[in-house]
Structure 1
Amino acid sequence: MPRPMPLSMPVSRILTALSATVCLAAGLAAAPASAESRPASAESRPGTLGELARKHHKYFGSATDNPEFTDAAYLLRLGSEFGQTTPGNAMKWYATEPARGVFDFTAADQVVAFAKAHRQKVRGHTLLWHNQLPAWLTEGTWSAAELRAILKNHIQKVVRHFKGQVIHWDVVNEAFNEDGTYRESLFYKTLGPGYIADALRWAHEADHHAKLYLNDYNVDGIGPKSDAYYTLIKQLKADGVPVEGFGIQGHLALQYGFPADVQQNMQRFAGLGVEVAVTELDIRMTLPATAEKLATQATWYADYVKACLAVKKCVGITIWDYTDKYSWIPSVFPGEGAALPYDENLRPKPAYYSIKEALGG
């Protein structure tokens, strides 16, 4: 999970529409426009990414963050192009419970209100993660009983606040190391591996309708880390624990190659009876960007989208913000970037068009 960061009408039709407007303004009677001269209907215009994904019964969304809400041009595209959004940081523990028992939902409410106003679905991210925890939690000394009480209270207060407004919760984020062993977080060291099942049960108690996910990076293809999640989810399902989704973050880099078995991996999780979502997709490159690198990036984006489309239980894709202007990549990976489908000037890149084509646009 990233650290804090982030349709043209033919000219002839435009002229025809303007001419008709002038005639009407002058009070002149005009004959009905021919089919050729009528403005394109919503059905015939190229669809947005969100609209195209809905035709496949999936969503296509973008993460966002509150500092971006001062950028009107950015918000215009965020609200019009995408069918879903994820608050990049506003729902994390440091933001929602900055002091023990003191909750602040101001930033998260802003993102949710924007999504609601634009008829977007919202993914909740994240209830439990080893990073971006408040100092009062990480610097405290807790018994297992104390930490369980803190964890349950946090999860249930946050989930209840957004009950009915969030379709998915990333309940536990990044629980495993690359070799498939448990990450020795504060929660694992104090509570043992059972904290994952407890977190899922507590979230389900607070909102029966939100789908509950485990989420991680470097789990695109089949390997030790994704195997660990496969084994865990299979066991959780057998134990009746309400786990309903697996989130594949999808932070790729051109220099490391494309996960050719991503569709196969998605399908094996779907076979466990859980949804799959691509939750934080971006594809970075070593700078400067070149035409060749951008073309490869475009192919990779399309291939990832096609993999999701081929798996019925892959319910949607979220890019980790849509523009390089607000990408988290350069601050974490110096010398790398250009990871998103729009450039720093909010102009679509080859990746945007490849995604659109993959979705049938």
Structure 2
Amino acid sequence: MLTVAAAVFAPTAANAAVLTLRSQAARLGIIVGSGAINPDYLDDPKFGQVLAQQFNSLSPENELKWESVEPQRGVFDFTKLDRLVDFAKQNRMTVKGHGLISGCCNPAWLEQIQTPEELRAALTVHFKTIMGRYAGKVDRWDVATEVLSTFGGTGLNANYFYRVLGPDYLAEVFRIAHAANPKAKLFLNESLVEFYPAKRQELYDLVTDLVRRGVPITGVGLETHITFSAPEPGVITGIVNSYKSLGLQVAITEMDVHLSPLPDNAEFTAQAKIYGDVVNEALTAGIRDINFWGFTDKHAYTWVPGAKPLMFDEQYRPKPAFFATWGALVSH
């Protein structure tokens, strides 16, 4: 199905307008979203047009990070987030809150807090203010992102929250988030678990312990930043099944595919296969929430020199990766 779709439909903007990911997502009753949406990108009408046409969900890039939304204590700036939420409402899209805390992007005033009691108070105000403002508008949240070391095996990162609250800080922040909005879906977002078995087990053990203790967590987010080759077939299925046994959901949260350039854009064929294979396995495994880390190479970030990791090129023309993704959706 994927090969046929790519062969029959030449990669043109006209075809992409007809063959939308969003229409297939609606047919399947799933979320297909784009993250890394800086609201300034909406100044380009074409960006907004393709975003709304192709996706039924969006999430911010860094606009929800603590230093952006509460740069001074008690002083919140919702200008950019409001613009995203308003755009989503106008275009009947859902919004994911990415991400409430992370190891980076904390304002200086926050990291000057060095007592657990004061930090819990700051977290409570921060979460209640943000999640209260967007209750009914943001349906799911990446509560914490990249809490483990890059390749795993060394336990939780000793980030600011760990240093002040201790090794059980995740249980605390999930409980604070749940109290701020009891109806919201709450995810733990992590990188590279699809590629490193030890890290995969480490995350599973961590989440299992949270579930055992009644911590209010909805699921796990797999970032799925892919460099050079896809996860081994069956890995995503195994991850989904392991968390399903805990009563949890699994989402793909930040997918992109970074390949080195080849003559005549030959890397795009390999890239398309990876997109198609991963999305197909995710759907077959039962994942109902698939998000990409942007959609146009015009606004892509890559650590592979010259890579073009997203489904549309700089002129918003669909690449083979788009048609492979569309084909994977069609086949389900």
What TM-score results when the alignment is normalised by the length of structure 2? 0.89
Question: How far did residue 271 of structure 1 move?
Answer: 2.1
Residue 335 of structure 1: aligned partner: 305
Give the AA of the match of 2:320: P
Contact conserved, 2:296 with 2:312, CA < 8 A, in 1?
yes
Please show how residues 121-136 of structure 1 align to structure 2 within 5 Å.
121-136=94-109
* 1:167 corresponds to which of 130, 136, 139: 139
Task: Single out whichever of 141-150 and 96-105 deviates more from structure 2.
Answer: 141-150
> 2 CA distance for matches of 1:187 and 1:262?
30
Deviations along 1:145-187, one digit per CA (max 9) or x if unpaired, are 2222222221222111111111210001111112241101011
Aligned to 1:353: 323
- For the residue of structure 2 that corresponds to 1:279, the secondary structure is strand
User: 1:294 aligns to what?
Assistant: 268
- In structure 1, runs of 5+ residues without a counterpart are 1-44
Q: Tell me if 1:344 matches 2:318.
A: no
Which shifted more, 204-213 or 46-55? Answer: 46-55
Q: 1:67 aligns with which of 22, 37, 40?
A: 40
Q: Give 2:259's aligned residue.
A: 285
User: CA 1:290–1:251 in 2, change beyond 3 Å: closer, same or farther?
Assistant: farther
Conservation of the 8 A alpha-carbon contact between 1:263 and 1:307: yes
| Cα distance in 2, alignment partners of residues 290 and 84 from structure 1 | 33
> Which protein has the larger Cα radius of gyration, Structure 1 or Structure 2?
1
Q: Return the offset for 1:322.
A: 0.4
1:245 matched to 2:219? The reply is: yes
Q: Which residue of 1 aligns with 2:245?
A: 271
The residue number in structure 1 matching 2:290 is 317
1:355 maps to amino acid: T
Give the counterpart letter for 1:204 in structure 2: H
Identity %: 33
Secondary structure of 2:144 counterpart:
strand
Q: Decide which moves more: 184-193 or 256-265.
A: 256-265
Task: Tell me which residue corresponds to 1:86.
Answer: 59
Across the two proteins, how many residue pairs are aligned to each other?
A: 311
Indicate conservation of the 8 Å contact 1:160/1:206, yes or no.
Answer: yes
Given candidates 152, 168, 180, the residue that maps to 1:194 is: 168
1:135 aligned partner, one-letter code = A
Aligned partner of 1:21 in structure 2 is none
Residue identity opposite 1:72 in structure 2: P
Report what 1:235 is aligned to.
Answer: 209
Name the SS of the counterpart of 2:188 in structure 1. strand
User: Cα RMSD between the aligned structures?
Assistant: 1.7
In structure 1, what residue type is equivalent to 2:76? F
Separation in 2, partners of 1:86, 1:286: 27
User: Residues of 2 paired with 1:108 and 1:290: CA distance?
Assistant: 39
Change (3 A) 1:287 1:53: same
User: What's the offset of the Cα at 1:56?
Assistant: 2.1
Find the aligned partners of 1:352 and 1:81 in 2 and give their Cα distance. 10
Aligned to 1:16: none
Distance 1:319 1:198, change over 3 A: same
Q: 2:29 aligns with which of 57, 60, 65?
A: 57
**What TM-score does the superposition give when structure 1 sets the normalisation length?**
0.82
Q: Which has the higher contact order (CA 8 A, sep 6+)?
A: 2
Deviation at 1:70, TM superposition (A): 1.0
Secondary structure at 1:340's aligned position in 2? coil
Shift of residue 47, structure 1, vs aligned partner: 4.3
In the alignment, residue 227 of structure 1 is paired with which amino acid?
Q
Shift, 1:57, TM fit: 2.3
Please state whether the residue corresponding to 1:354 is helix, strand or coil. Answer: helix
The 8 Å contact of residues 124 and 180 in structure 2, kept in 1 or not, is answered as no
Which stretch shifts more, 319-328 or 333-342?
333-342
Show the counterpart of 1:14.
none
Q: Secondary structure at the match of 2:330?
A: coil
SS at 1:359's partner residue? helix
Displacement of 1:258 in angstroms is 3.3
Measure, in 1, the Cα distance between the counterparts of 2:145 and 2:177: 14
**8 Å CA contact retained: 2:224, 2:253:** yes
Is the Cα contact below 8 Å between 2:96 and 2:140 reproduced in 1? yes
Give unmatched runs, 5+ long, in structure 2: 1-16
Q: How far apart are residue 141 of structure 1 and its match?
A: 4.6
Query: In structure 2, how many angstroms separate the alpha carbons of the residues matched to 1:188 and 1:221?
Result: 25
SS in 2 for 1:159: helix
Pick closer, same or farther for the CA change 1:287–1:55 going to 2, 3 Å. Answer: same
